[in-house]
Amino acid sequence: MAQEQALDRSTRTTVRRSLSDRPLIVRYLIQTGRFFRTKPLGGIGVVIIGLCVFAAIFGDQIDRYEPDEIFTTVNPEFDEALYEKSLTDPMVRLTARPEQLQKGETPIIFAKPSSEHWLGTDGLGHDLYSRIIHGAFTALYVGLGAALIATIAGIVIGLSSAYFAGAFDFIVQRIMDTLQAFPPLVLLLLFGQVVANPTLSVNTISLGILGVASSSRIVRSAVLAAREEVYVLAAQTVGGSDLRIMFRHIFPNITAPIIVTFTSSIGVYILVEATLAFLGLGDPTRVSWGKMIEEGRRNGVADPWMALAVGGALTITVLGFNLAGDALRDVLDPRLRGRGGRAGF
């Protein structure tokens, strides 16, 4: 009887399915939940990035007003009697304040947050919330575009330079040394003086080119280590072509540092784009956080809300990419996997 009960329990025992046996979407959901549980700061960074991407893509749907719409109100300081007198007396126009003689409506500038304008208005009467939402597109366009250009070019240059080595590697690395010898901000300022009206695409390409040197160095160091692995030597022994060995055997094994570098560099490029716009070298036709911060700075201590609000959006966005990049480094680096959820804190 006891043997029959034991046999019955054994037949009812279910084998726990491994992660690889589950459907693809289930695996992604489980891995995502595990990432948020073990890397809470990285999860916060991913959420911030998601919100920024959502604002950049659906800005026209979630903004309350058009970013270029100017809000006005009746000028409360207008003095009609003084205005009539100024038409015949030039001295009145010289002594009166401009607000007293401005007939009609005046822009609502640097208004405080309210139900009509959630984050107030800027120095021209634009809704600040709508401007920040549309500024997210400019930030991500430059950040993602420059990071892609630098990463793709860095992969090609670093992979080929480290694999072929010799004189080719020496020449390529001296070119990269020359590119890194110049201060990036000085080169960008010089480039801004050469180009009359730098567009968003031109600024993105220039930033991407400046980031090629550092990206290629990271790829090169990873390839130098992978080139001596047994599987690469085996592929060379059986007569595999150079392109096949580089992109079939070496490249898949160096993706971890590339992903981390790409993610972390986006925040840097967003900051540099804001710096260029702050200095007046950005695209004049685009809404930019850096240009808005400079406008708020000019207003000084009297109304600091604009600079604080836009600066806060820029800081949170860059922080999100940095947190996500640090978490990815901890997850993808085999040396840090054993630290658990506290790694990188």
What pLDDT is stored for residue 323 in this prediction?
92
The secondary structure of 238-279, three-state, reads CCCCHHHHHHHHHHHHCHHHHHHHHHHHHHHHHHHHHHHHHC
What pLDDT is stored for residue 345 in this prediction?
35
In this structure, is the dihedral angle defined by the CA atoms of residues 254, 263, 330 and 50, taken in order, positive or negative? negative
What pLDDT is stored for residue 236 in this prediction?
82
What pLDDT is stored for residue 13 in this prediction?
47
What pLDDT is stored for residue 7 in this prediction?
47
φ, ψ of residue 106 in degrees (nearest 5): -130, 145
Q: Which two tokens stand for residue 62?
A: 């979630």
Burial class from Cβ neighbours inside 10 Å (0-12, 13-18, 19+) for residue 80 reads exposed
What pLDDT is stored for residue 343 in this prediction?
42
Distance, CA of 217 to CA of 189 (rounded, Å): 25
**What is the pTM for the complete model shown?**
0.81
Length of the chain: 345
Distance, CA of 200 to CA of 320 (rounded, Å): 23
Q: From the first residue on, what is the mean pLDDT of each consecutive set of 10 residues in the chain (345 residues)?
A: 52 54 75 85 92 92 87 74 72 70 75 86 89 94 95 93 90 90 79 75 89 92 87 84 87 88 92 89 88 83 80 94 88 58 40
Helix (H, G, I), strand (E, B) or coil at 127: strand
Contacts of 255 (CB under 8 A, 6+ apart): none
What pLDDT is stored for residue 270 in this prediction?
95
Our CA dihedral for 291, 296, 297, 303, rounded to 10 degrees, sits at 180
Our CA dihedral for 335, 337, 340, 342, rounded to 10 degrees, sits at 50
Helix (H, G, I), strand (E, B) or coil at 35: helix
Q: Which two tokens stand for residue 129?
A: 């919330």
3 Cα distance to chain centroid: 65
Burial 110-127 (b: 16+ CB within 10 A, else e): bbeeeeebebbbbeebbb
In this structure, is the dihedral angle defined by the CA atoms of residues 186, 310, 121 and 46, taken in order, positive or negative? positive
What pLDDT is stored for residue 47 in this prediction?
94
